[in-house]
Amino acid sequence: MTLTTKLTALTFGATLVAGAAVAEDSLTYAGSGGGLAQVMKGVFDDPFTAETGVTVNALATSDRASALKAMQVAGKVTWDVAELNPIEYATASLSGWLEPLDWAAMDPDGVLPAEAKLEDAGIAATFSTIMAVRTDKLPEGKQMTSWADFWDVETFPGGRALQNQPIDNLEFALLADGVAPADIYTVLATEEGQDRAFAKLDEIKPHVTAWWTAGAQPVQMLSDGEVAYTSAWNGRITKLAEEGVPVEINWNGGGIKASYVAIVKGSEKAELGQQYISYMMTDPERAAQFASMVPYPGMVNGLYDHLPAEKGAMMPTHPDNVSGQFVTDAVFWGMHLGELKERWEDWIFE
């Protein structure tokens, strides 16, 4: 730790202590409610209150993008920190409805990777869209290890399924065509890159026997043997494997999706909001406690030192799984979803 970060840490820590001395303040958190809110109360909210004296008022909310817009238009902000899905985050960020975050103060020890620290939000939880493989359908002695293999129908015959949407599939197509994960969105931001992705999709389209629209569908198709290879959400495939179906996850080329936390523009408690987000994201032991109860892990370094190895190995941010994946760029999709969805719908019916 550098002298600067040490000083920053001391300053931030002193702020927390000062908050404890006040012991009268509160913070409003707009989340999803339900079981997730109960887990957050036990892991984050109550311990945060015990340490700082700041009460967390957790609200069960939906359609947070519309609510944020209404607050900004009315000039009356009633939330301090909000949980946001990727499209909500992209909408809010592009519209300027979020406060900038001071990561030097929030993560003085640098325990979070750069990908988790956005200018106006943090990535607090994740899941991944991965390739799921029926191992008993593989040719003898072969392993499907990449999206290039998924496209290779001669070496790997068998039915395939993909989700019926441009998000993920355009990225998978570029990976199959040799684009590095780090370059996906640079390529996809160009007209040539979009043409390249759709041209690659043209190759696999005749071999896709089903375009799924709900997360349960690829699970059922794999279980029934209707398809041998498909995209799917990682948590569902983990459960399918636990039920004894011969399936495995190929993490290489998976698309990590984020649940974001951000401070609402105009909140009068932005500093408390930063403390709460830091508390939520930067303690690996606390993050592991959350991930052991809800299989949507954060990204803090050291999280997997506090989880059983077998459980951690099935999560998208595990060190053995994360390196070959890409983080789905919510802002890119916020800017381009309309045009690419329209092109996708034309393409799928061709």
The answer to whether the CB of 126 falls within 8 A of the CB of 297 is yes
Q: What is the pLDDT of residue 5?
A: 33
Tokens 């991930």 -> residue: 291
pLDDT of the residue at 36: 86
Say whether 127-256+326-349 and 26-126+258-323 share the same fold: yes
pLDDT for the residue numbered 331? 87
CB 272 within 8 A of CB 19: yes
pLDDT greater than 60 at residue 21: no
Mean pLDDT within 139-166 = 97
CA pair distance 287, 194, nearest whole angstrom: 37
Could you tell me where the DSSP H helices lie in the chain? 3-22, 34-40, 46-52, 64-74, 86-95, 103-106, 147-151, 166-176, 184-188, 191-204, 216-224, 234-242, 270-281, 284-293, 309-312, 319-322, 330-348
Assign 223 to helix, strand or coil: helix
State mean pLDDT over 26-50: 94
The position carrying tokens 């979803």 is 337
Mean pLDDT, residues 125-142: 96
Looking at domain 26-126+258-323, does it have CATH number 3.40.190.10? yes
Sort residue 118 into left (φ over 0), alpha (ψ -120 to 50) or beta: beta
Domain definitions of the chain by residue range: 26-126+258-323, 127-256+326-349
> What is the per-residue pLDDT across 54-79, written as a single tens digit (0 to 9) for each?
999 999 998 899 999 999 999 999 99
Q: What kind of fold does domain 127-256+326-349 have according to CATH?
A: D-Maltodextrin-Binding Protein; domain 2 (3.40.190)
pLDDT band at 24 (very low <50, low <70, confident <90, very high): low
